[in-house]
Each structure stands twice: as structure tokens, then as C-alpha cells.
Amino acid sequence: MSLEGVAEHCYNITQSYLDLANQTSIVDETKEAIKLTRDYLLKDIFKRWDPFSGQISFSYNGGKDCQVLLIVYLSCLWEFFKESIRISQFSLKFQKFPLEYLPTVYIDQAETFQTLEDFIELTKNRYFLSLYESPRNQTSMPQAFRNYLDLNENTEAIVIGIRHTDPYGEKLKCIERTDSNWPDFIRLQPLLHWKLANVWSLLLYSGEELCGLYEYGFTSIGGVNTTRPNPFLKKGPGEDNGEAITNHFSWEISNAYGKAQEDSSVPVTRVSDADLDIIQKTDDSAYYPGWFLIEDSKERAGRS
């Protein structure tokens, strides 16, 4: 595989999702969400900042939001590449994909779950990320980005997987400068309009491996000492086998892209033993997987 290969794969996933017909209302809504993000990227963003020249970086912390955005972003990168060769004179096979690795930045801030760190390492290889990792816990987010920009002078804009339903996300716009207490660059936020259900729907359909913590009832992942499985997903007595909460994504899971029919498992990474100890130390209840939750207002209920 190569960045070109995985970008084409992501394009195929997204295209196949957009071609779905007569599915759930969540799928219909998610198709509209994807189309808007695609328009932002192809019609606005890539016209102003060249994604192949190092002007754009992608902020990545291994969470579901930046993973789903990465899939759509890579899909658009592939489309942008195809379009650029269509208007040039040579045929596809003589044109080389202009990037080997995607410029990406991860600020290692809080005490991170080992499982999430492992996932970041895994997806760095999976998606061909040239991942800058800030030294752990050294400084504030704005200062960490200042350091990143000092080392990457070409960077003009950074993609962020923030959504309107996130804290302070309500009034954000897709393209805007950073605030005055941040280093000066352009924030690219093409996922703002996505609801939690849209994120799960495309992610589960993609067949891509997800961070294993989500299977344990996590819906939003922060630091080790401040994040627990979502209390709204806690199983009651005797609920271990039956499902008292509806899984809205059974269709996506059994019809995931490139997956054998009748396979109803979700590909997730292994949760580290250390993290299992942490999760079960204070509470050994069972939880439904994170994707059983679709209410945006409850997404952060496991965070303190």
C-alpha cells in the first residue's frame, strides 16, 4: 500500500457510501454531511491551499472524529489528484501521486490511554501519516502548535475534526483564522455540521479498524484519569446477552465496505491490559459499545 493506494481506497469507501439507496434516515443524512464536507474541501479549501505542497496539515489525535474526517479528506485528495491529471495532457498511468506521506500533527497533551497511543501508531502506518508528535505534556496546545509551525514553515492551514456539538464549537466556521491567543494560521473545520450518528455511520460502514476503547463503551476519549465508559451505555442486571438499547448501525456493520456478508463483528484494535485494569478498577459493569449512543448531548458524559 501507499498513500495513493489508501487515498483511492478511501475514495472507494466514500463513493460506495454515497451510492447507498433506501437505507436508514441516518444514512441519508450522513450522505448529505459527506457531500457538504466534500464541497468544502474540493471547491473552497483545495482551491486556496494546495494539499500537495505542504501548505495544509491535519491535526490528528486518533479519535473517531479525526479518523472519519481523514477518510473523507483522503477520498477528496484522490479526487483532486484525478481531476488535476484529467485536465493535464498525460494519461493516468504516467502521473505520479504527488505525496508519499500526509503532513499530520499530534499534540501529546494529557496522560493518554496506551490503547489510543497504539491506535495512533497503527493508523500512522495505515494512512501514511508523517506524524509530528509533540514531546508529551511539555506545554499548552497553542505553544505546541507554535513549535510545530516553527519546524514546518510552509504550513498555512490545519485541518481539525471539531464539530458544532463540541464545547465552544457552536459558532465556529469551516474556514477561519485562529484566535489571538493562538499562533496565527487558518483553521480548516469541514466536519462541523456532522452529528455523532453521522460519524458512527460512515466509520462503521468503512470497515476500517477503530480504536478498541470504543467497544468498551467509550464515546469521547480524553485523559486516562478523566475518561470512563459512557454511563448512558451501562448495561443493567441481566442485560449481558439481550440488547436493551438499539444499535442504529447494524446495517452498516453487516454491510461494511469490503466485508464478507453475515459478518457482524466490528474491527477494533486490542485494548491494552493496563487500560483494562484502569477501566475495571473502579467499575466492573458491562457497557454497550460506544456506537450505541447517538445523542450528541450525551457524547461527553464519560468525561470529567
What residues line the site for ligand FAD (CB under 6 A)? Answer: 59-61, 63, 65-66, 105-107, 109, 145, 158, 160-162, 166-168, 178-179, 182, 187
Q: Residue 4 or residue 65: which is nearer to Mg ion going by CB?
A: 65
Query: What does 182 interact with, of ligand FAD, Mg ion, none (CB < 5 to 8 A by kind)?
Result: ligand FAD
Burial class (CB in 10 A: 0-12, 13-18, 19+), 163: buried
Smallest separation (angstroms) from Mg ion to the CB of 192: 11
Query: What does 178 interact with, of ligand FAD, Mg ion, none (CB < 5 to 8 A by kind)?
Result: ligand FAD
Strand ordering across the sheet containing 186-188 = 129-133, 102-106, 56-59, 157-159, 186-188, 175-177
Query: What does 132 interact with, of ligand FAD, Mg ion, none (CB < 5 to 8 A by kind)?
Result: none
Q: Strand locations in the chain, DSSP E?
A: 56-59, 102-106, 129-133, 157-159, 175-177, 186-188
Q: Residue 286 or residue 301: which is nearer to ligand FAD going by CB?
A: 301
CA pair distance 72, 54, nearest whole angstrom: 19
Q: Residue 8 or residue 73: which is nearer to ligand FAD going by CB?
A: 73
Answer yes or no whether residue 299 interacts with Mg ion by CB under 5 A: no
Smallest separation (angstroms) from ligand FAD to the CB of 188: 9
Q: Residue 111 or residue 239: which is nearer to ligand FAD going by CB?
A: 111
Smallest separation (angstroms) from ligand FAD to the CB of 106: 5
Instruction: List the Cα angle 257/258/264 in 5-degree steps.
Output: 75
CA pair distance 98, 53, nearest whole angstrom: 8
Query: What does 167 interact with, of ligand FAD, Mg ion, none (CB < 5 to 8 A by kind)?
Result: ligand FAD
CA pair distance 304, 300, nearest whole angstrom: 8
Residue least distant from ligand FAD (Cβ) = 161
Q: Residue 141 or residue 244: which is nearer to ligand FAD going by CB?
A: 141
Dihedral angle computed from the Cα positions of residues 272, 200, 162 and 139, in that order, rounded to the nearest 10 degrees: 0
Long-range contacts formed by 143-146: CB under 8 A, 24+ apart: 144/107, 144/109, 145/105, 145/107, 145/182, 145/183, 145/185, 146/183
Query: What does 158 interact with, of ligand FAD, Mg ion, none (CB < 5 to 8 A by kind)?
Result: ligand FAD
Give me the residues paired with residue 102 across strands: 129
Q: Residue 82 or residue 298: which is nearer to ligand FAD going by CB?
A: 298
DSSP state of 269: P
Query: What does 59 interact with, of Mg ion, ligand FAD, none (CB < 5 to 8 A by kind)?
Result: ligand FAD
Residue least distant from Mg ion (Cβ) = 65
- Considering CB under 5 A, how many residues would be counted as binding Mg ion? 1
Cβ 201 vs Cβ 249: under 8 Å: yes
Which residues, 55 to 94, sit near Mg ion by CB under 5 A?
Answer: 65
Smallest separation (angstroms) from ligand FAD to the CB of 242: 32
Query: What does 66 interact with, of Mg ion, ligand FAD, none (CB < 5 to 8 A by kind)?
Result: ligand FAD
Cβ 289 vs Cβ 266: under 8 Å: yes
Evaluated on CA atoms 234, 267, 161, 195, the torsion sign reads negative
Smallest separation (angstroms) from ligand FAD to the CB of 176: 8
Binding site for Mg ion (CB under 5 A): 65
